Amino acid sequence: MFALSVRSIGVVAAALILMANPAIAAETAEGPPNMLSPNIGVMFWTLVIFVMLLVVLSRYAFKPLFAAVEAREKALEDAIEGARRDREESAALLAQQRAQLETARTEAQGIIADSRSTAERMRADLLSQTKQQQAEMIEQARRAIEGEKLNAIADLRREAVDLAIAGASRVIEKNLDSVGNRQIVDDFLASLDGAKGVR
């Protein structure tokens, strides 16, 4: 459409030049034109050409130019509006991402704190169980030692009783005077000392 309007402008301009040509030729016949003196014919044709050119330009050139300029302005406004919307959306997404990151950081710190407290609890529980097991083992060892001690005492008593019975039987068998009894007890005690040395 713009090419059509340029062609029609060219046609109109050529027609105006052809129409103005006889007036210019008439003036040149009288002599060189005076540029400062007003000439009604030239003014008339200049005004007619200007009005015709203005009508042709307003109809075929200005409308498409204005439409193109308005379309360009609208496209620029739409681009600016789209960029503003995109910037607002990206700012909202950035704020959302920051909030999610902060939430994740808080959750991670909570998980770490929970893990530490759980580890401390487990360590304390294991320490308590170990102490309890140690106490139980010590108590079992103490009971075992006590049992062995009681068994040893019982064995010693039995042996002492056996030895006393054996000594008494010798005394009874050899019922001698007090010197002889004393000798028997001394021998018995010596045999006890010898028996302890053997053990």
Q: In this structure, is residue 154 part of a structural domain?
A: yes
Q: Do residues 3 and 60 lie in contact, with contact meaning Cβ atoms separated by under 8 Å?
A: no
- Do residues 77 and 161 both lie within one domain? no
The pLDDT > 90 percentage for the chain reads 22
Q: Encode pLDDT of 33-64 as tens digits.
A: 666 777 787 788 889 888 988 888 888 888 88
What residue numbers bound the domain in which 83 lies?
2-96
Helix axes 40-56, 2-30, angle to 10 degrees: 180
- Do residues 84 and 170 both lie within one domain? no
- Do residues 26 and 91 both lie within one domain? yes
Locate 195 and state its tokens.
Answer: 């028996």
Residue 16 has pLDDT above 80, yes or no: no
Residue 88 has pLDDT above 70, yes or no: yes
- Cα radius of gyration (the chain): 68
Contacts of 131 (CB under 8 A, 6+ apart): none
**Length of the chain, in residues:** 199
Q: How many CA atoms lie within 13 A of 171 on its CB side?
A: 18
Tell me what the mean pLDDT of segment 92-102 comes to: 93
Q: What is the domain count for the chain?
A: 2
At residue 3 the predicted structure's pLDDT band, cuts being 50, 70 and 90, is very low
Tell me how far apart the alpha carbons of residues 30 and 28 are, in angstroms, rounded to a whole number. 5
Residue 198 has pLDDT above 80, yes or no: no
Q: Encode pLDDT of 158-188 as tens digits.
A: 776 677 667 766 766 665 556 666 677 677 7
Residue pointed to by tokens 């005690």: 189
DSSP 114-173: HHHHHHHHHHHHHHHHHHHHHHHHHHHHHHHHHHHHHHHHHHHHHHHHHHHHHHHHHHHH
Residue 1 has pLDDT above 50, yes or no: no
- Mean of all residue pLDDT scores within the chain: 78
- Do residues 16 and 85 both lie within one domain? yes
Last residue of a domain, one of 60, 79, 96: 96
Find the Cα–Cα–Cα–Cα dihedral 74, 76, 80, 83, rounded to 10°.
110
* pLDDT for position 13: 66
Residue 149 has pLDDT above 80, yes or no: yes
* pLDDT for position 35: 66
* pLDDT for position 180: 67
